[in-house]
A and B are shown apart, each in its own frame.
Chain A
């Protein structure tokens, strides 16, 4: 089946905005969510900046019963799923329960929760470990909890590929829909901002040690010096074009038109890295050529040699300076499995609003990168097709192509206010 797969609902929580429109308005205005990590006393650590979702009180959005059994990352995911489903406005009973699946990506699992449990075990003994540890930590927790909360019984899964996984989840959701499940909720949310999770991220050697919140993470800059980690992510409702039409879906953000994933050759191999091939394959999957792409949302690792490799892939595929490139994730930090889905949401809104958000913080791009990085202010132009790239540590490369859906324009954006709560 090669029917179109559409995005009809988005729920998003990011460090620069809890809510899709809040995040988008902040992104266009260049408002950052990066600040000194405030969850614990971070002063002793060499890295202190993070993108945190402030102003998020899970108790206001979720039933009390779910709180003791869920990590913050799962709470964020459940709320994002609630908001996505509310956004999609699917009538109760429209989809049978076997016809709805959940495919998420996760990179760190319920880490803060499990850190607390490790501490209980080793300071108070085995009897202190919670009954919830057996399922609050594992990587499938968000898929499982979203499935239960919404009674989705279709094919479901959880994928791990560090920062590439969120795009893989979207690609697999599309695959699942094409194999016969009309609606799949997908995306990724991560949070590992407790001291142990924090130190583990520092161990990657890729975090920026710069202290200016606005310049610490400046992808593609001559002085790029790593990334800032963030928490958050996005959940998207995907469904077949015919389902969206049959139920008169109020909005269609766009189509997931293409997806591909590749893996780099082993370290030390003379063969080239696989990001360009992932992009090419995703475009081929969408039946598009590079000249039809209006913007590239870059992986933007912020690590100089990786920025250089990505620039080479983009300029090699599209031609030098041939396509606008942007990385608004510099306002949120890298959210691991949440990063790709948030980029896809941003890409869909750039299609809706005809505007490309800028890459904040980056001042000077090396000339030999030969990419047109959108900086300073948003660039207004019609956007019909966007390519989203993501790489995961150790060699994962994933690409998603999103495209405008022909037909009546999607309704104008709601004013940035608290998204409707599901009752």
Chain B
């Protein structure tokens, strides 16, 4: 059984962009959407900038009941799922629900709601023995966040395999990889796959402050995220979500679906080295890339664009550069590579899916998004990282990668819709 998987619908919410049209616009313009944190007073924190989504749930089709019960990350996921479903044109009422699955990624899931509840229950931290008499009925779902994929399943009545994939910062690429596996093995014909994270809340800001992974460049929020730039000082925390309708290829073709791209390869490995640290050789990420290319049955020379992890930390961008050289050889030097985290920040578990959306839109529109804020080249990152300005280019095969705490290293290959393989 050689089942192939295509993307037929996309819903996306990022800083600076509501929906695919605005997202493509932002990517093409190389516009940044990072700013001083506005969700709470950040003055006591080391990193005071973030990528925030301007999201008004009541204007996004969520009922007051849904808004009350759902954590912000779940709200974004549901809104993106509904948008992807509409975008796909798939009539789910006519579809066998037992053949529909969900694979939703998130790194910190209900962190925002957890913190809000904590302040109430503990009286702002005063009481270790928290108060059970003023308990939100949704507190359990903030503790165990599998309510999130359930909410996405309910948007279409999915009754097939439903799960949350929570692999830290590779959740968003791994959840889509997982969805592909479900379709390939025949467990589902359609999967709503994607990811959502809303980590702009004090505890998460504080934990990245503690390890100095986020940038302290607070005086210039719009230019704070500087992947591959020599003056980079860490990543900009962000929120966001992207959800796809993944469909079995023959079925999509039969119904005349508009196909964004085919997902032709996916692989994941672990560095088994350190929970947060990276070695400089990028060996395991290179291995994931190589295996993904093998699955896609293409040579490194066939890659037209690489969407990087490019978080903007000193160690990541160096690690990644080494991984590209190791896996792609000389072709690494001839391929445009960019990090959209320069524009929308790093939304942890969500960004992997957001980056897949960027790749799909890039392929449909023949555009290579730039790396914004890249003004001072770093000799340790001496590849073509597409500084500042987007380029027009026909893209037949695109590679996207992710890297995250716990040692996860993932890679995915997308192929142009209708292209020969």
Contact A98 B287 (CB under 8 A): yes
B420 CB–A CB distance under 8 Å: no
Neighbouring A residues of B44 by C-beta, 8 Å = 125-126
Neighbouring B residues of A158 by C-beta, 8 Å = 165-167
For A336, the closest partner residue in chain B by CB is B144
Contact B144 A155 (CB under 8 A): no
For A200, the closest partner residue in chain B by CB is B143
Tell me whether A197 and B135 are in contact in the complex, defined as CB-CB below 8 angstroms, given that A123-B126, A144-B407, A168-B163 are known contacts: no
Rounded to whole angstroms, the CA-CA distance of A10 and B203 in the bound complex is: 36
Contact B166 A122 (CB under 8 A): no
Interface string of B137-161 (1 = CB under 8 A from A): 1111111111101100110011111
Neighbouring B residues of A349 by C-beta, 8 Å = none
A203 CB–B CB distance under 8 Å: yes
Contact B273 A148 (CB under 8 A): yes
Neighbouring A residues of B275 by C-beta, 8 Å = 69, 135, 141, 144-145, 148
Rounded to whole angstroms, the CA-CA distance of A41 and B178 in the bound complex is: 43
Tell me whether A119 and B211 are in contact in the complex, defined as CB-CB below 8 angstroms, given that A44-B129, A157-B174 are known contacts: no
Give residues 265-286 of B contacting A (CB, 8 Å): 267-276, 284
For B134, the closest partner residue in chain A by CB is A199
Contact A203 B406 (CB under 8 A): no
Tell me whether A263 and B125 are in contact in the complex, defined as CB-CB below 8 angstroms, given that A152-B272, A394-B146 are known contacts: no
Neighbouring A residues of B160 by C-beta, 8 Å = 262-263
Contact A122 B181 (CB under 8 A): no
Contact B210 A130 (CB under 8 A): yes
Stretch of B116-124, B240-248, B337-345, B359-367 with 4 or more beta carbons under 8 angstroms from chain A: B116-124
Q: How near does chain B come to A67, taking the closest CB pair, in angstroms?
A: 14
Q: How near does chain B come to A144, taking the closest CB pair, in angstroms?
A: 3
Neighbouring A residues of B121 by C-beta, 8 Å = 196, 199
Contact A159 B164 (CB under 8 A): yes
Contact A129 B207 (CB under 8 A): yes
Rounded to whole angstroms, the CA-CA distance of A159 and B284 in the bound complex is: 22
Rounded to whole angstroms, the CA-CA distance of A196 and B85 in the bound complex is: 37
Neighbouring A residues of B55 by C-beta, 8 Å = none
Neighbouring B residues of A114 by C-beta, 8 Å = 203
Contact B162 A121 (CB under 8 A): no
Contact A393 B144 (CB under 8 A): yes
Stretch of A23-31, A85-93, A100-108, A299-307 with 4 or more beta carbons under 8 angstroms from chain B: A100-108
Stretch of B9-17, B102-110, B224-232, B303-311 with 4 or more beta carbons under 8 angstroms from chain A: B102-110
- Cross-interface CB contact of B270 among A156, A204, A261, cutoff 8 Å: A156
Neighbouring B residues of A75 by C-beta, 8 Å = none
Contact B272 A150 (CB under 8 A): yes
Contact B405 A157 (CB under 8 A): no
Rounded to whole angstroms, the CA-CA distance of A152 and B143 in the bound complex is: 29
For A206, the closest partner residue in chain B by CB is B140
Q: How near does chain B come to A339, taking the closest CB pair, in angstroms?
A: 13
Rounded to whole angstroms, the CA-CA distance of A114 and B178 in the bound complex is: 28
Contact B140 A121 (CB under 8 A): no
**Number of CB contacts from chain A to chain B under 8 A:** 254
Rounded to whole angstroms, the CA-CA distance of A205 and B141 in the bound complex is: 12
A218 CB–B CB distance under 8 Å: no
Q: How near does chain B come to A143, taking the closest CB pair, in angstroms?
A: 6
B46 CB–A CB distance under 8 Å: yes
Contact A121 B157 (CB under 8 A): no
Contact B272 A148 (CB under 8 A): yes
Rounded to whole angstroms, the CA-CA distance of A393 and B160 in the bound complex is: 16
Give residues 306-353 of A contacting B (CB, 8 Å): 336
Neighbouring A residues of B209 by C-beta, 8 Å = 126, 129
B98 CB–A CB distance under 8 Å: yes
Rounded to whole angstroms, the CA-CA distance of A107 and B142 in the bound complex is: 10
Going nearest first, the 5 A-B pairs with the smallest beta carbon separation are: A144-B406, A122-B125, A139-B166, A394-B150, A200-B143
Query: What would 12 A/B residue contacts be, using CB atoms closer than 8 Å?
Result: A122-B125, A148-B275, A155-B267, A157-B268, A158-B166, A199-B121, A203-B136, A203-B140, A205-B137, A271-B157, A271-B159, A393-B146
For the complex with contacts A129-B203, A153-B271, A265-B97, 15 further pairs of A-B residues with Cβ separation under 8 Å are A102-B270, A118-B118, A125-B44, A126-B209, A141-B275, A150-B272, A153-B270, A153-B287, A160-B164, A200-B139, A201-B140, A264-B159, A274-B159, A396-B150, A396-B163
Residues of chain B whose beta carbon lies under 8 Å from any beta carbon of chain A: 44-46, 97-98, 101-102, 107-109, 115, 118-119, 121-122, 124-126, 128-132, 135-147, 149-150, 153-154, 157-168, 171, 174, 178, 181, 185, 187, 202-203, 205-211, 213, 267-276, 284, 287, 405-408
Residues of chain A whose beta carbon lies under 8 Å from any beta carbon of chain B: 40-41, 44-46, 69, 97-98, 101-102, 106-108, 111, 114, 117-119, 121-123, 125-126, 129-131, 133-135, 137-141, 143-145, 147-148, 150-162, 165, 168, 172, 175, 179, 192, 195-197, 199-205, 260-267, 269, 271, 274, 277, 336, 392-396
